[in-house]
Amino acid sequence: MRIGILAGEASGDLLGANLIHSLRERCPDLQVEGIGGAAMQAAGCHSLFDMERLAVMGLVAPLLRLPDLIKLRHDIGEHFIKHPPDIFIGIDAPDFNLGLELKLRRAGIPVVHYVSPSVWAWRRYRIKKIAKAVDLMLTLFPFEAAFYEEHHVPVRYVGHPLADQIPLKPDTMAARRSLCVAEKVRYVALLPGSRRQEIRYMAEPMLRAALLAWRANPELKFITSQINEARYQDFYACYQRVAPELPLQWFTRRSHAVMAAADVVLVTSGTATLEAMLFKKPMIIVYRMSKLTYFLAKKLVKIPFAGLPNLLANEALVPEFIQDQVTPEALCEAMLNYLQHPEKVEQLQARLTELHTLLKTDTALRVTTALLELMKK
């Protein structure tokens, strides 16, 4: 069995790696190639191009990179048309993947898109292109599947693999021991994001907020993890400039352990908010972008919340700070509010456990079954 696969960022890389491992259990002769990061390559994916070329965010940055992205999509499309896989799986990255998927499906290659684009939130006109581009949409959340069913697009709700992997009751002390950090200390995790642009916009207010919280509570400690050495250096440069005295312990590729070890998580909006939810951590969600991107986003995006926990619950379970709301003082106040009110934290953790249970579906089995059924048609 030979599959083509493409992931455009760190979260998709993890989903792709889990999918490859699951498929290999059913198909030992599995061959995988496309575009993936370190996790997918470790699982056996031959990456034809560097995934970092796809790691752009916002509305403006992709326009600046458009010529390179167009060439990359053409090259990967031509490769798969000349060497057709049994099935192609595009993971997230809809602005890149959907055009590629349409081209491959027209060439007779079965196509699956894994992780729905947020058509339910903005640019709903994309549903017409999705219907032409994919044989099957796999969604992580139940409300997404309902949207596709309404629009008569073949869909399967598969849940989120992290909900199966992360225990309902994470062990904070075990995580601290695995990181070799003190067990009887209160920790705040600083997670500014996996993209360079996210660190550019989020690192400084996070670090300044942490500095304020530490000065108010000198016993407080901080931990962080970056996706790779490049992001580590980006964040460390800001740390040296803004808050070199802050008691911050550094890790690379240990974000789950860092979340599990923390008492509070300060996190950039994205998949990491779902991970923090699954670890039942009180969190503060932040997001900043360029002024132009924010202006355009306000016109286009029609959803009440930015963070996945709040979207899943359809209520403001955890605080969100967007754009001009992202100030050191506001973030510090939210951190200290959690630390000073353990009864609120306990109530929040009960609600986060309910959401975790909703997403715990044996995703790997559901995804593998859906792919194998499609290939038999």
pLDDT in tens, 344-364: 999 999 999 999 999 999 998
Shared-domain flag, residues 190 and 319:
yes
* Residue 1 to residue 22: CA distance in whole angstroms: 13
Residues 255, 222: one domain?
yes
Same domain membership, residue 371 and residue 340: no
Rounded to an integer, the average pLDDT of 157-180 is 95
Q: Pick 51 or 226 by higher pLDDT.
A: 226
75 and 183 fall within a common domain: no
User: 221 - beta bridge partners?
Assistant: 187
Q: How many domains does the chain have?
A: 2
| Residue 153 domain boundaries | 2-159+361-376
Most distant CA atoms of the chain, gap in Å: 63
* CATH number (domain holding residue 107): 3.40.50.2000
If asked whether residues 210 and 253 sit together in one domain, one would say yes
**186 and 131, same domain (yes or no):** no
Query: Looking at the chain, which runs of residues are DSSP E strands?
Result: 2-7, 31-35, 45-47, 87-91, 111-114, 136-139, 155-157, 187-191, 221-226, 248-252, 264-268, 283-287, 320-322
Reported as a single tens digit per residue, the pLDDT across 20-48 is 999 999 999 999 999 999 999 999 999 99
Give a yes or no: residue 222 inside a domain.
yes
Q: Is residue 167 part of a domain?
A: no
Does 146 lie in the same domain as 17? Answer: yes
Pairing of strands 264-268, 187-191: parallel
Q: Are residues 340 and 244 in the same domain?
A: yes
Report the predicted TM-score, pTM, of the whole model to 2 decimal places.
Answer: 0.77
Q: Does 83 reside within a domain?
A: yes
Give yes or no: residues 213 and 333 share one domain. yes
Supply the pLDDT for residue 65.
Answer: 64
Q: Which of 252, 261, 266, 287 is nearest to 331 (CA)?
A: 266
- Domain membership of residue 165 (yes or no) is no
| Residue 61: pLDDT band with limits 50, 70, 90 | low
Give the per-residue pLDDT at 358. Answer: 92
228-243 b/e (C-beta count within 10 Å ≥ 16 → b): eeebbebbbebbeebb
**Residue 153 is assigned to a structural domain of this protein:** yes
- The pLDDT score that the predictor gives to residue 248 is 98
Question: In terms of domains, do 51 and 109 share one?
Answer: yes
Residues 188 and 234 in one domain: yes
